[in-house]
Structure 1
Amino acid sequence: MSSQYLAKYEKGGYWPGQIGQVIRNRYINIKLLGIGSFGTVWMARDKADDSYKALKFAMTEHRDPAKLEIEIFKNIQSLGTHPGQEHIVQFIESFRTKSDFGKHEVMCLEFVGPSLSAVRKRIGSLHLEHVRKISIQLLNAIDFLHTKCRIIHCDLKPANMMIQISPDDVKKVAINGRQPDEIDETSDVPTFYDIDFNDPDYEISVKICDFGISMKSDGHCEFPVQSCNYRAPEAFLRNQFGPPIDIWSLGCTLFELATGECLFTCSTFQENTAHMKDHLDKMSAALGRIPHRLYEDNRRKRIYFENNIENQNRPDQPNLFLNEIMSEQEHISEEDADVFVEFVHCFFHYDTKMRVTAATALKHCFLSEKRGMFDYNVEDQPSSNMLSHKNDTNEEVLGESDDDESPFD
């Protein structure tokens, strides 16, 4: 465990849990699963039904944000049925516990498997058919959050998207998983998971978690939201923002899953002017120049736009860079790469009014079941995590028969 985390085991800090400790005479701590900026997550056995749960303990100094997260979870649960609900981690209950360091808010959640971040770090890119299915699940979940719950997640990224695993695999984690001092960035993808990333027919179910910095869509926030690599330009410039920031983050995530590469990597995690300019320059290099008109009333606009000749001279060709990266994916056919780039480009409009909504994105031809399996080149196919599956049908793909037709249904 790194020293930065050990230093937070103090008054106002992390909950000092122990393996075998019983909480509320119901939950038995099995192991520490993860440590974050706001708290720790433990795997626990529920004596009530002999199942396994995830217990999220907030740091004592972060009790108020934890209370807001609990409110959001309760709101999500209360809003009827929607296809996206099943792709949000299930909230079971909340309670408060005490330690020598203070009082801690605790959330009991369903136990899920590895994050998409851990999977990507272990195997690289996912089969494009898996990306298609995951896209549908996440878009349904985001549509539910945005339209029914009126919630902006504010921190969508592969690390907050978890793969659901079988009850047998959950038991294997409890028995065979690593101890806290052995945890590293890929330790939650042990070989005993019964998940076949080689088979495009394998049904992977993904769930969104961690609503720690989420907010109501009509709220206001002064501090930076979103993890740097997945942050929308309006969030960098502290412009007024809304649900479209989640769409931008999802576009970054899906591109990363398909290519195995992070689209915009932060050079530093310091929140300063140089950091902002560097990241916005990466965006304009990849997606075309950032329109000055979108930030006419922005108080930080001069920091980036004034005397920025490089941004002004960049062409407005947003697909060019994305196509270049996809062309390097030798296992993906040119046709499928083009359709995927057309799909994710909709997530990257600088103008938030033009950026696609989750409901509209679900109608794109990339997600159509009529596409069947994607046409992978057998001779170029990596053997580590993908299998070739040719599409031999001559069925017309919705939205692709005419270049002038919309890619949306």
Structure 2
Amino acid sequence: MSTAWFSGGSISLNYPTDAISATLSLAAAAGQQDFAGRRKQKGGSRRSRNRRTRTKPGTSPHPQMTFLCDGGVCADDAPEDGRRREDSMEDDEGGQLDYHSGFVLKERYEVVSMLGEGAFGRVMKCLDRRKDEFVAVKILRTFENSYETARLEIAVLEEINSLDDDNKFACVRMLDWFKHKRHVCIVFELLGLSTFEFLRQNDFLPFSVEQIRHMAFRIFRAVSFLHRNKLTHTDLKPENILFVSSDFDLKDDPKTMRVCRKPRSLEVKVVDFGTATFDHQHHQSLVSTRHYRAPEVILDLGWNQSCDVWSLGCVLFEFYFGQTLFPSHDCMEHLAMMQEVLGPIPPHLLKQTGKKHFVQDDRLKWDERSSSGDCVREPRRPLKSIEAESDEEQQLLDLLSCMLEYDTCRRITLEEALWHPFFSPMRAKQSPQS
């Protein structure tokens, strides 16, 4: 799509050599430990400034689980005093496990390098000595309720493994879990870059419509599988959709007259089930990363599986334009941005909101002269005014409109979306029920 959504410059590229692992909220490439600084960057292009720090919401209870403790040993010889070298490994001030290359967890997983880190902990690229293959090991930081947080995620991952025993759906596989000292460790299959990181390294050049079709079909099938099993992901975003392989080819882009990256495989997987919630469980009032948060969550109307549909609509838009749809800083600004793109929020939803300070005379109480008014007033085209350059682009825009409906009763489900005309070429190859 050649139509620009925002104006902005480019971002300098720094190409990593290792792939990113399938884990919670990580888009850092191997060896790029300072990648999180991209969200704090004050200069650069508008595309980089549109990205803000994203906080993880809480999650809901799962059945009780007992942790089994496994120690770790170092690949090197033990110290002369007879203590295992693991005992010299201490946590840093933030509760992260200090490590070194060659350190071995559970007498099996040898640390090779760090893939990335976040508020939850660190993710290590490790060699599974038993199977002689690389894996990603997430080592959770020690903090209050860290065991509970780990227990919740492990319970969901085990349920997904059980429900998808044949690995038909594109959800990351948990291979193992154990406890090292005070740290819970979760072992995942090693995946490639996140779709966000691929966009970043490709100077935020959008994916082609055909690429989006292939990736979206796989993502929709995965999340629809979750929904059929009464599970809502709640934190879908480009950082949590990973390529299985990071391999790419360099191609000339005839539209931009630039050399760009083209992924060799469009196989992707959904990761980060740390806040996934079953239908019968308590629903925390605040879920999703801000930029991908559905209006019913912001308005405190209660939420269900359709909040995932809204998030994926925002994700597909980002794939299509290479830029964040709603780069908001607070709830009022976010709702005002929605109105700029999608039209007024229906009055019946505003009447139901528990956030009464958001509403005045059945309208959003938004002061355009506020400090964040400039962000909202940045040139944004209403979604319905975007002119498609082909029939397939028109189909994609129509699908986005169906996914970005304010009213959850009118918002398309993922089962329905898989039968949208946009996916007709994919259905000819593969049934969405398979």
- Contact kept, 8 Å, 2:243 with 2:269, in 1: the verdict is yes
Question: Where does residue 277 of structure 1 map in the other structure?
Answer: 332
Residues 370, 75 of structure 1: alpha-carbon distance in 2 compared, 3 angstrom cutoff: closer
Provide the residue aligned with 2:170 in structure 1: 87
Q: Deviations over 1:206-243 (max 9, x none)?
A: 00001111111232334521111111011112221011
1-side partners of 2:93 and 2:183: how far apart?
11
Determine if the alignment matches structure 1 residue 28 to structure 2 residue 107. no
Q: In the superposition, relative to structure 1, how do residues 195 and 43 fare at CA in structure 2: closer, same or farther (>3 Å)?
A: farther
SS for the counterpart of 2:169 is helix
The aligned amino acid for 1:114 is: L
Residue 368 of structure 1 aligns to a residue in which SS? helix
Structure 2 CA distance, aligned partners of 1:72 and 1:201?
A: 30
Q: How does 1:300-315 map to 2 (within 5 A)?
A: 300=355, 302-307=356-361
Q: Secondary structure at the match of 2:98?
A: coil
User: Which of the numbers 206, 220, 237 marks the counterpart of 1:125?
Assistant: 206
1:114 aligns with 2:193: yes
Specify the alignment match of 2:325 in structure 1: 263
Provide runs of 4+ in structure 1 moved above 6 Å: 196-201
- Consecutive unaligned residues of structure 2, counting only runs of 5 or more, are 1-32, 38-89, 252-259, 367-379, 429-434
| Higher RCO (CA-CA < 8 Å; seq separation 6+) | 2
Q: Which among 290, 300, 321 is matched to residue 382 of structure 2?
A: 321
The AA in structure 2 aligned to 1:72 is V
C-alpha separation in 2, matches of 1:111 and 1:362: 28
Does residue 1:353 correspond to 2:409, yes or no? yes
The structure 1 residue matched to 2:135, chosen from 37, 46, 53, is 53
- Measured at CA, do residues 74 and 220 of structure 1 come closer, stay the same or move farther in structure 2, by a change above 3 Å? same
Identity of aligned residues (%): 28
- Native 8 Å contact 1:290 1:311 kept in 2: no
Displacement after TM superposition at 1:151 (Å): 1.2
| Alpha-carbon distance in 2 for matches of 1:10, 1:307 | 52
TM-score, with structure 2 as normaliser: 0.68
CA distance in 1, matches of 2:397, 2:124: 39
Gaps of 5+ in 1: 166-188, 269-274, 313-318, 373-409
Provide the C-alpha distance between the structure 2 equivalents of 1:356 and 1:4, rounded to a whole number of angstroms: 34
TM-score (norm 1): 0.71
1:234-293 CA distances to partner (integer Å, 9 max, x unpaired)? 111222101111100000001110111111112x2xxxxxx2111000001111111121
Alignment of 1:146-295 (within 5 A): 146-148=227-229, 150-165=230-245, 193-194=247-248, 203-222=265-284, 224-266=286-328, 268=329, 275-295=330-350
CA distance in 1, matches of 2:427, 2:149: 43
Q: Does the CA-based 8 Å contact 2:249-2:262 persist in structure 1?
A: no
CA contact (8 A) 1:129 1:200 kept: no
Once the 2 structures are TM-superposed, how far is the Cα of residue 202 of structure 1 from its aligned partner?
A: 5.1
Other structure's SS at 2:163 match: coil
**Partner of residue 97, structure 2:** 15
Q: Distance in 2 between matches of 1:370 and 1:33?
A: 33
In the other structure, the counterpart of 1:388 is: none
The one-letter code matched in structure 2 to 1:51 is E
Q: Does the residue aligned with 2:102 lie in a helix, a strand or coil? A: coil
What is the alpha-carbon distance in structure 1 between the residues aligned to residue 308 and residue 265 of structure 2? 25
| Structure 1 residue aligned with 2:180 | 97
2:164 and 2:35 map into 1 onto residues whose CA distance is 44
Alpha-carbon contact 1:230-1:249 (below 8 Å) kept? yes
Distance 1:4 1:335, change over 3 A: closer
Structure 1 or 2: more helix by fraction: 1
Deviation at 1:25, TM superposition (A): 0.9
Quote the Cα distance in structure 2 between the aligned partners of 1:365 and 1:262.
Answer: 25
- Residues matched between the structures, number: 319
CA distance in 1, matches of 2:276, 2:200: 26
Maintained 8 Å contact 1:289/1:311? no
Deviation per residue, 1:84-112 (Å, 9 max, x gap): x43111111110011xxxx1111100000
> Is 1:343 the equivalent of 2:399?
yes
Q: Do the aligned residues in 2 keep the contact of 1:323 with 1:337 (CA within 8 Å)?
A: no
- Compared with structure 1, are the counterparts of its residues 227 and 9 closer, same or farther at alpha carbon in structure 2 (3 Å cutoff)? farther
| CA RMSD, Structure 1 to Structure 2 (Å) | 2.9
In structure 2, the CA distance between the partners of 1:282 and 1:143, relative to structure 1 (3 Å rule), is: same
Structure 1 residue aligned with 2:221: 140
Change in Cα spacing, 1:80 to 1:307, as seen in structure 2 (3 Å) is same
Residue number in structure 2 paired with 1:394: none
Contact 1:292 1:305 in 2 (8 A): no
* C-alpha displacement of 1:37: 1.7
Cα contact 2:149–2:274 (8 A) shared by 1: yes
Question: Aligned-pair distance for 1:47?
Answer: 0.4
